[in-house]
A and B are shown apart, each in its own frame.
Chain A
Amino acid sequence: MSEPILRAEHLGITFGGLKAVSDFNMTINAGELVGLIGPNGAGKTTVFNLLTGVYQPTEGEFFLDGRRMNGKKTYQVVRAGIARTFQNIRLFDKMTVEENVLVAFDQSFTYRLGGAIFRTPKFWRQERDMHARAIDLLRIFGLEGLANTEAANLPYGAQRKLEIARALATGMKLLLLDEPAAGMNPTETEDLLHCINVIRDRFGIAILLIEHDMSLVMNVCQRIQVLDYGRTIASGLPEEIANDPQVISAYLGAEDAGDTAEGEES
């Protein structure tokens, strides 16, 4: 196996005196689907924020395809190939479904300000190509019929899907999904599961998934890493994790469970 898609080494961040995440190590190879789980406030979303340049790590480094990503701004990280979805859906509400996807295609456009103002042939060609690509992408999620609907008017499940479609449109190598099944009913979750499998097969991308729905995690993830109080307490195959005593005590509480400060997750 060549260079992994993502390699995080001793990644950590401290807010004031609080170590939100410390010594976080992770390797994800192409086409892999890895789960990141842990109790509320364990630091899962903080890991996502570190990997997407929202926060800068105070220790450790991480590499995408062997390229060091520390100190990069969010848009630079995204352009390099890490895209994400959000725990609480963040769509461009007043824009249409198609426009939402087109925004994420931005880096695929090469026409500049002059091209936009003078409406050069390049402008028309690219706008037409991107329109076709956006519709193709929406078709995977069954959203092509809603292309001209305002994003805010979509049903909840469709909004989640659109967020994933938008992340895919950035042309990333690693997709970070932050609780994609949150608030979904079983049918919608099933549907989502199908979508995740389809995009993994179709695009051959690596996926890192935060999820509280254990059946979903156990079903789709090839490997699972468990966080508690910002530290990795277990990592391995789903069956191993399910039977790990430390994981069980983290979730169900053990006699010596501390009450360390937490709560960075929004």
Chain B
Amino acid sequence: MKKSMLSIKQSYLVCAIGVAVLFGLLMAVCETGAASLYVKGIIMTCCIAVIMTTSLNLTIGVLGQLTLGCCGFEAIGAYSAALLSKLLVANGVQMDATLRFLLVTFAGGVIACVFGILVGIPALRLHGDYLAIITLGFGEIIRVIIQNLKVAGGKGLSEGQQGQALIGIDRLANLYVVFWITVVTVVLLFMFARSRYGRAVKAIRDDEIAAGASGINITHLKVMVFAISAFFAGIAGGIFAQYIGALTPSMAGWLQSINYVIMVVFGGMGSLTGSIVAAVGLTILPELLRAFSEYRMLVYSVVLVLIMVFRPQGIFGNWEFSLPKLVNRLFYPSRVKDPGESGAATESDAVVGRAAESADDKETKA
């Protein structure tokens, strides 16, 4: 076993600095006016896609259960957040815009999470294609219900007529706040995946019967993962609602869900790193291809096909970015000075970090 030159706690610190630098960059392009409204919009969409894709990857890649209903949860979160925001205003509640944004977005996540648990308990008894179909059906149910709900712009469930869009939602989504929500989401998912929970979930993916025979409570963990995914999908929906300002029921449709599944598969199932890269890449790609006008979706499709032909496991497979490993690979033979030495971590911390790191780290796929 290679000794890491960078303890896991030091690498957390470096990653934190990296995120801070990224945020500084974001602030720089926004404040100096280098980023147009269009570019800001793309960054916002990227953030939403990252939240959706990483949380979906927890279910599809880490737990190994194919679900096609993620946008159903996103829509629940979006409509909940939108309606709650309107309700607060209608009741004359005075509060800070950012606080209101956070509150209703979080509430949207919680409501989506509740639905995730309700759907997950019966649905997760099924596997593979059956689960995919059930979740697909669930997404459609959500779409049809929203279409008809009076409160969401429909004409009432009994009317059975096409509903209108829900408009006039306060556009409170602030790019900086959304950026940090995205960071927190990725960090939470990462911490979950690299703990005993993540290990147990991966064990269920690899062999459910053996996982049960190793003392893992399968039903409990499956529903937990499903609920976590639904929660973050709801958060993404809440952000979306308050960024766009108008919602249509079609956002709950399966076509949207497939889009996120593509991102997960594209980046690599089980790799959060891959999900982030794929979410950003596949959000930006169609925008970059706008010059090709009507051919752009053709190019997009060809890129997808090529990736799937030459890298069926996705860009990253199940490889996960790990700073200590990267440092090892770059510096191990030459034994350069530990870049994190000036950090706060003590030697005993470093030992702990190493042990935990080797306990947690997956073998990098060649």
Q: Is the CB of B356 within 8 A of A128?
A: yes
Hey, what's the 0/1 contact readout for B203-232 against A, CB within 8 Å counting as 1? 101110111111111100000000000000
Q: Is the CB of B215 within 8 A of A113?
A: no
The residue of chain A having its C-beta at the shortest distance from the C-beta of B194 within the complex is: A116
Central interface residue in B191, B206, B207, B214, by most chain A CB within 10 Å: B214
Tell yes or no: A86 within 8 A of B by CB.
Answer: yes
Q: Is the CB of B211 within 8 A of A113?
A: no
Known: A74-B212, A170-B214. A99 touches B358 (CB 8 A): no
Central interface residue in A94, A104, A118, by most chain B CB within 10 Å: A94
Please measure, in the bound complex, the distance between the C-alpha atom of A103 and the C-alpha atom of B214, giving whole angstroms: 7
Please measure, in the bound complex, the distance between the C-alpha atom of A2 and the C-alpha atom of B39, giving whole angstroms: 75
Tell yes or no: B195 within 8 A of A by CB.
Answer: yes
Tell yes or no: B347 within 8 A of A by CB.
Answer: no
Tell yes or no: A124 within 8 A of B by CB.
Answer: yes
Q: Is the CB of A75 within 8 A of B216?
A: yes
Tell yes or no: B355 within 8 A of A by CB.
Answer: yes
Query: Can you name 19 extra interface pairs (CB under 8 A) apart from A102-B196, A117-B188?
Result: A54-B209, A73-B212, A78-B212, A83-B214, A91-B210, A92-B202, A92-B203, A94-B270, A96-B362, A99-B199, A103-B214, A113-B192, A113-B197, A116-B191, A117-B191, A117-B195, A124-B353, A131-B359, A170-B214
Please measure, in the bound complex, the distance between the C-alpha atom of A84 and the C-alpha atom of B360, giving whole angstroms: 25
Residues on the A chain within 8 Å of B211, using CB? 92, 103
Central interface residue in A78, A99, A170, by most chain B CB within 10 Å: A99
Total count of chain B residues near the partner, CB < 8 A:
37
Tell yes or no: B88 within 8 A of A by CB.
Answer: no
Tell yes or no: A222 within 8 A of B by CB.
Answer: no
- Interface residues in chain A, defined as those with a beta carbon under 8 Å from any beta carbon in chain B: 52, 54, 73-75, 78-79, 83-84, 86, 90-96, 98-100, 102-104, 106-107, 109, 111, 113, 116-119, 123-125, 127-128, 130-132, 134, 147-150, 166-167, 169-170
The residue of chain B having its C-beta at the shortest distance from the C-beta of A89 within the complex is: B210
Q: Is the CB of B199 within 8 A of A116?
A: no
The residue of chain A having its C-beta at the shortest distance from the C-beta of B365 within the complex is: A150
Residues on the B chain within 8 Å of A167, using CB? 213-214
Q: Is the CB of B352 within 8 A of A103?
A: no
